Structure 1
Amino acid sequence: MKLTISIIILVFSLGCNSNAQEAKNQKTYPVSKTEAQWKSELTTAEFQVLRKKGTERAFSSKLNRIEEPGTFVCAACGNELYKTRHKFESGTGWPSFDRPVDEKNVDYRPDRTGGFSALEVLCANCGGHLGHVFNDGPRNTTGKRHCINGVAMDFIPKKK
């Protein structure tokens, strides 16, 4: 009985320490809003992906078909994320890029949810979840594939 109680206390304290450490590791972003504010400003789909780390259905984004010159920006805060010239057809069903506009515009965080290990990509301005980066991109460029949810971005065409 004592052993069982000791194990329960140990497991509980490890869980609490893990949660405390996770909260301590949370980054503060320049654009910071309450969940209610984000919910009122974003569409349901944008909120689900950007704030709740969801994933849109493959091949559902109109951004997959964009080839004209321009910039893809965060749908939550307008931060410049990707350029059309770095976009490529990966066949995965999500907009894919070999690099961001600037590395300082995105953050990376290890993600071990969903049964696989990947590198999560977040907006460095508001912390919105964008997608993931993998090492199976074009070998003639960076070798990276930024697999990004289209609903997490807006497209701004280049002015002519």
Structure 2
Amino acid sequence: MKKIALLVITCVLFNCNSKAQDKKVKETFEIAKTNAEWKSELTTAEYHVLREAGTERPFSSKLNKQYSAGVYHCAACDTPLFKSEDKFDSGTGWPSFDNVIEGNVAFGTDTKIGYTRDEEHCATCGGHLGHVFDDGPKETTGKRHCINGVALNFKPSNE
């Protein structure tokens, strides 16, 4: 009898599901397209990162060592996201910034790899950009916005 009670309690505990455990929040964005529309407009790599929350290989982006004056825009919808003066070399292999353009980057929670990370996405189209960490330059914000280069288009200041 004790074994049956223990089995029932175990089953109940592992099968409980409440709204508190549901971390996905439905969000709406100014630009909303079907997966087919995004696939037709984005490269395979852009689609993987921006729409499937993928990650590009470290040190693979040409933007990692880009330090010219300008603005980094969302590769999916052209929203300006980061300014070149906020970019720094984090040594991680991904373009890193210590600040965002206020209102153009939105934040959420990512638990896909077994622990919680703060995810960043474009506030206009919802495209996944990367993650933000608290190990950035202490003399500024202390934040490191670790961004997939394929999610960005760089526009030099002279444009």
TM-score range, shorter chain: 0.7 to 0.9
Structure 1 match to 2:17: 14
Gaps spanning 5+ residues in structure 1: where? none
Displacement of 1:112 in angstroms is: 1.5
Gaps spanning 5+ residues in structure 2: where? none
- The 1:137–1:32 alpha-carbon spacing in structure 2 relative to 1, beyond 3 Å, is same
1:53-72 alignment runs, 5 A limit: 53-72=53-72
User: Which runs of at least 4 in structure 1 moved beyond 4 Å after TM superposition?
Assistant: 3-13
Q: Which amino acid aligns with 2:17?
A: L
Q: Which amino acid aligns with 1:42?
A: L
Would you say how many aligned residue pairs link Structure 1 and Structure 2? 156
TM normalised by structure 1 equals: 0.87
Structure 1 match to 2:135: 136
Structure 2 match to 1:114: 113
Displacement of 1:35 in angstroms is: 0.4
Alignment partners' CA distance in 2, 1:139 and 1:29: 33
1:1-80 alignment runs, 5 A limit: 14=17, 25-80=25-80
Displacement of 1:18 in angstroms is: 7.7
SS of match in other structure, 2:48: helix
Give identity over the alignment, percent.
Answer: 51
Alignment partners' CA distance in 1, 2:95 and 2:114: 22
- The 1:10–1:35 alpha-carbon spacing in structure 2 relative to 1, beyond 3 Å, is farther
TM normalised by structure 2 equals: 0.87
- CA radius of gyration, larger in: 2
- The 1:159–1:144 alpha-carbon spacing in structure 2 relative to 1, beyond 3 Å, is same
Structure 2 match to 1:105: 104
Alignment partners' CA distance in 1, 2:38 and 2:44: 10
Q: Deviations over 1:34-88 (max 9, x none)?
A: 0000000000000000000000000000001111100000000000000110000
Alignment partners' CA distance in 2, 1:109 and 1:74: 17
Q: RMSD in angstroms over aligned alpha carbons? A: 2.2
Alignment partners' CA distance in 2, 1:4 and 1:34: 44
